[in-house]
Chains A and B, each alone.
Chain A
Amino acid sequence: MGRVVNEIRSSVPDAQVLVVDDGSHDATGSVARRAGARVLTLPFNVGVGGALRVGLLLAAREGASAVVQCDSDGQHPAKSIGSLVAALSHSDIVIGSRFAGDRDYQMVGPRRWASKLLGWAMSRVHNSELDDVTSGFRAFGPNAIRVLSVELPPEYLADTIDALVIAKSHGLIVSQLAVEMSPRLAGVPSHGPLKSGVYLGRSVLVLVLSLAQLVGQRIWRSS
């Protein structure tokens, strides 16, 4: 945790590092604070989507011009933060794709199918090449910060696909940038096979609901 914060601080010295402590029972908060990060401490666990919402809410209130979301396990390379933010000049959300560049990064099982299916569907929805829609390494511009801090649903696993669907319905532009992942500094991958299955199921549901919503919006606008 401390290493991740330090790495980001040295790569982007003029940025503020914000750590969201999602109801953890270890020393995450104090370690991060000691490393020079600001820490938002949630009173109980709300999941990645909820944690992202609170980070974006604080950024929106303080008028931040960009927010970059990254995992705390160190697999998201701090040296790529600058290029993600630079890419915000032509879009509202930039996804750091683990696939677009080198193909070393591999997924297996349901998680891989989910990723393929969702990438295909989201690329069509946004009319833009998006290979890695489940990536947790993303940059948000001011419009995306404002919209998502309010509209993102407070549910488990709701941070990736839902965000892209909401982005579409608010007319935000999404693009991707290839990034090379680092090996994790700590922790284990957060998705076991069962959880991946649940994730796939939920994602398909969100997809169906969102397509219905987008079609409805189109009919509404054209009438």
Chain B
Amino acid sequence: MNLSSAIGAVAGLVIYSVVVWLVLRGRLNVRFSGLWLMVGLLVAVLAVAPELLTRLSRFLGFSIPSNFLFFIAVVFLSLLSLQVSMSITSLDKKVQRLAEEIAILRERDPGVDGDGSSP
């Protein structure tokens, strides 16, 4: 195993451990963790067996394997950030609805959350 493979394998392992640690500490939803665990695993596998990448990229017609890797990475990150923007949008809507319900409850009963004024 050459040095670059070792670096890649360690990187994959680090991603894997950080994700597991974040989930255990409750700072990352299990829902999102699967995705990142797969990324860690993929990095490690490709580092240990780079011929897998070479063969696949040749099959798909990429002249340089690293280009194929960058392409995959860009697509993955773009989709991920789009997904994150979508969840923020949905959270925004929920937060707005909650604020509305609080305002309506406060109007009906000013004492419902203390004095009814802004915190």
Contact = CB atoms under 8 A, between A and B. Distances in A.
B61 interface: no
A54 B100 contact: yes
Contacts of B106: 40-41
A145 to B, nearest CB: 14
Contacts of B102: 42-43
Nearest to A56: B100
B107 A46 contact: no
- Size category of the B interface is 10 to 19
Interface stretch (A19-27, A87-95, A207-215): A19-27
A50 B92 CA distance: 11
Nearest to B97: A154
A58 B119 contact: no
A46 B107 CA distance: 17
B96 A38 contact: no
B88 to A, nearest CB: 12
Contacts of B116: 29, 41
B92 A42 contact: no
A23 B117 CA distance: 9
B104 A58 contact: yes
Nearest to A54: B100
A23 B118 contact: yes
Contact of A50 (B99, B104, B118, B119): B99
Nearest to B95: A154
B107 A38 contact: yes
Contacts of B80: none
A21 B110 CA distance: 13
A53 interface: yes
B55 interface: no
B52 interface: no
Contacts of B103: 20, 40-43, 54
A57 B118 contact: no
Interface of A: 20-21, 23-25, 29, 38-44, 46, 50, 53-54, 57-58, 61, 153-155
5 contacts: A41-B103, A41-B107, A43-B119, A154-B93, A154-B95
- Across the A-B interface, the 6 shortest Cβ-Cβ residue pairs: A154-B96, A40-B103, A54-B100, A42-B103, A41-B106, A43-B102
Given A43-B103, A46-B99, A58-B104, 10 more contacts: A29-B116, A38-B107, A40-B106, A41-B103, A41-B116, A41-B118, A42-B100, A46-B96, A61-B104, A155-B92
